[in-house]
Structures are given as structure tokens and as C-alpha cells.
Chains A and B, each alone.
Chain A
């Protein structure tokens, strides 16, 4: 499965605190965006939401640039999307 949109959302939310706030407190918009691009099942989206929000809440503010890639990859892997 090609999850470019989800990967992009994670990268943006890790790098940018403003975007992270949208993931944390306005997931409806993020959900609509993912659905438009990737057509995932509701159950998968719900699972993604739970993991994403939990991970985002634990990130430092800001995440320093040299950590963006590693942290983004770690979060994406936790979603366990195949």
C-alpha cells in the first residue's frame, strides 16, 4: 500500500509544531484529507488516529531538525501499515 499522504502528515507534524496541533486537535480535517488521498477503511483510520495522537503528545517542542527523519520513521513504523 502506498501511504505517501500518511508519511507526509507524520513528517510535517514532527517538523512543524503548528501542523502537529492540527493532528492533535483537529483530526477530522486530517482524516478527510487522508480519505481523499488514500481511501482507507474507517477502522484503519481510527487505529492511525490513536497511535498518531499518542506519539505526537510525547514529542519535544520543537523537534530539532537532525531528529526529524528518525522520529518520523519510528512513528510511521508503529502504525504497522502494510
Chain B
């Protein structure tokens, strides 16, 4: 039985319909949070929320494309109207486009990636954090190992993930005295549809796994408990920190 770390907390998880985001929705809800599953994939988001509800978990779907400023504003306005506050914001949504070398990356792909991952995370912080100013709260941003060290064929993705680390640290300083804690998860290779799809072939995915000290990709359920902990009162002195979850990849 799960410990109830997040009783009475209102949580938003972006990109909550699949992969790591979906597992975070489950983890937060099993810890008694009221969770808004936000995703741009409406049919899938609705379906997943209904499945959680069938398990008596307090999960509601709301459509959100984080790259659209008006949608982000309206989304947090709706949260404010319904709940009058926000306790937890998990900025998990993002895309990874393998666009080739720096010289091969088109402006279109660059702008798409920055618009979703970096601007989208910024917009959610900009419009979500004010809902925490009265009672405090916790923001979890998602970076990547690619935001710390270079990686091939996805410069825009790596730049956004590096930017998210800076966004996390700066925002954590700005809101530290208001009891709004802002931390960052830095996952390595996690076995999701997104990472298998982005890797591009089964063979390459397995090759990447062999390069990890633990010789396997992580699982979404190995990320979600860290998020729940960081959002709980047990992590009351943790802010502006990065949490690498990667089977030892960045220790090499």
C-alpha cells in the first residue's frame, strides 16, 4: 500500500498521458493527490484519466499544448477558478526531434523543439507558479542527460534541456523565501514509447542500454517515486537541485 505523501495536494502533470508522465500521474494520485493529467493528445488523455478514475484515483484530464501561450494561460486560469491554488506542477511534457548535426538542423525543427520544451516549460512556470504564492508549492522540471553533456543529432533537444536546468536554478532562487521549491529530474535512457521511437531502431536501443553502467534502460516507475518524494513535505529543504536517475550513465 502506498504511503499517503500528498494528501490534499492539487497537482498538474504535463505530458501525463504516456510514458514517464503517466507513471507520475499514477504515483501522485496513489499518494492521495488530486491530479490534473494535462496532455495535447485528447483521446488518449481522456482514456487514461478514465482508467485511473476506474481505480478510484482522483485524476482529471485537461487538454494542454504547452507550446501555445493562450492555451497555457487559459489552462492555469481554469485551475485557479476550480481549485484557487496549485500545490504541485510537474513539467514533464516535451518532444525530441533527431534533426541531425548542428549544420543539418532546420530552423523549423529548432523552433519546434525550443517552442515546446523550453518555452513551454517557461510558460507553465510563469503562469503556474503564481498559483502557489499563497501557500507554497513544488515544481518539478524535466531535463535530460543531454542537457548536461553533448549528444549526437539532437542539438535543439540538448539546448532545451540545458536551459531547463538554468530555469530551475534561477526560479528556485527567486521563490525560495515563499516556500515554492523548484527542482529538476535528469533522467537517462528510460524505456518508454518516446525513447524507443526516438532511438530509431530496436538494435540501437539495445546498444545504448549496453552503454549504461547498469546495462539496462530505466523504467518510468523508477522515476515517479522521486517526483512524489520531492513534491512532499518530506523534501521541505530541497530546492534548486538536480536529481540524476540514469543507472550510472553520468558517472562515467
Chain A residues engaging chain B, CB cutoff 8 angstroms: 12, 15-22, 24-26, 29, 33, 61-62, 64-65
Interface size in chain B (residues, C-beta < 8 A): 21
B202 adjacent to chain A (CB < 8 Å): yes
Residues in B with CB closer than 8 Å to A18 are 95-98, 194, 197-198
B: residues with CB less than 8 A from A are 40-41, 65, 67, 95-98, 108-109, 112, 116, 193-194, 196-202
Asked whether, in the complex, the Cβ of A19 is within 8 Å of the Cβ of B109, the reply is yes
A26 CA / B201 CA spacing, docked (Å): 24
**A-B CB contacts (within 8 Å), total count:** 55
**A26 contacts across to B, CB distance below 8 A:** 40, 65, 67, 112, 116
- A25–B15 alpha-carbon span in the complex (Å): 12
Residues of A within 8 A of B197 (CB): 16-18, 20, 61-62
- What is the CA–CA distance of A16 and B98 in the complex, to the nearest angstrom? 7
CB distance from B23 to the nearest CB of A (A): 18
CB distance from B33 to the nearest CB of A (A): 26
- Contact A17 B194, CB 8 Å, known A22-B112, A25-B41: yes
Contact A62 B112 (CB under 8 A): no
For the complex, give the distance between the alpha carbons of A16 and B109 in Å. Answer: 12
> In the complex, what residue of chain A is closest to B95 when comparing beta carbons?
A18
Of B67, B95, B194, most A-chain CB atoms within 10 Å: B95
A61 touches B193 (CB 8 A): yes
Which residues on B sit within 8 Å (CB–CB) of A12?
97
**CA gap between A65 and B98 in the complex, in Å:** 14
Q: How far is the CA of A6 from the CA of B108 in the complex (A)?
A: 14
Tell me, in angstroms, the Cα distance from A16 to B67 when the chains sit together. Answer: 20
Roughly how many angstroms separate A12 CA and B199 CA in the complex, as a whole number? 13
Give the residues in chain A near B196, CB-CB below 8 Å.
Answer: 17, 61-62
Residues in A whose Cβ lies below 8 Å from that of B108: 33
Q: Which residues of A contact B41 (CB under 8 A)?
A: 24-25
CB distance from A48 to the nearest CB of B (A): 17
CB-nearest residue of chain B relative to A21?
B95
Are A22 and B97 CB-contacts (below 8 A) given A17-B194, A33-B108, A61-B196?
yes
Checking B65, B109, B193 against A25 with a beta-carbon cut-off of 8 angstroms, the contacting residue is B65
Instruction: List 14 additional A-B contacts (Cβ < 8 Å) besides A26-B40, A61-B196, A61-B197.
Output: A16-B97, A16-B197, A17-B196, A17-B198, A18-B95, A18-B98, A20-B197, A26-B65, A26-B67, A26-B116, A29-B112, A62-B197, A62-B199, A62-B201
